[in-house]
Structure 1
Amino acid sequence: MSKTTRMTKQKKVILDILRHSDCHPSADWVYEQARKSIPDISLGTVYRNLNVLRDAGHILELNYGSTYSRYDGNPKNHYHFYCEKCHQLFDVKIPVYEGLDKLVKETTGFEVKSHRMEFYGICNECKDLMMSPSVI
Structure 2
Amino acid sequence: MSDVEFLKSKGIKITKARLVIYDMLKQADSSITADYIYEKCKELGIDINLSTVYRNLEALELKDIIDKFDLGEGRNSFAIKKNKHKHTLECNLCHKEIEVPCPMQQIEEMVRNQTGFVLTEHKLVLKGVCEECKINDGKCKKMTE
Aligned residues: 103
Cα offset for 1:8? 1.5
TM-score, normalising length: structure 2: 0.55
Structure 2 CA distance for partners of 1:57 and 1:96, relative to 1, 3 Å: farther
Gaps of 5+ in 2: 1-6, 85-103, 133-145
Matching residue of 1:52: 59
TM-score, normalising length: structure 1: 0.58
Q: Distance in 1 between matches of 2:13 and 2:44?
A: 19
Name which one, 1 or 2, has greater alpha-carbon Rg: 2
Q: How does 1:1-136 map to 2 (within 5 A)?
A: 1=7, 2-3=10-11, 5-37=12-44, 39-77=46-84, 79=105, 80=108, 82-83=110-111, 87-88=114-115, 92-94=119-121, 107-108=130-131
Cα offset for 1:16? 0.8
Gaps of 5+ in 1: 110-136
Q: Distance in 1 between matches of 2:42 and 2:75?
A: 20
Instruction: Supply the RMSD in Å over aligned alpha carbons.
Output: 3.2
Q: Distance in 2 between matches of 1:74 and 1:90?
A: 20
Contact 1:60 1:73 in 2 (8 A): yes
Structure 2 CA distance for partners of 1:9 and 1:68, relative to 1, 3 Å: same
Relative contact order, higher structure (CA 8 A, sep 6+): 1
Report percent identity of matched pairs.
24
Structure 2 CA distance for partners of 1:29 and 1:81, relative to 1, 3 Å: closer
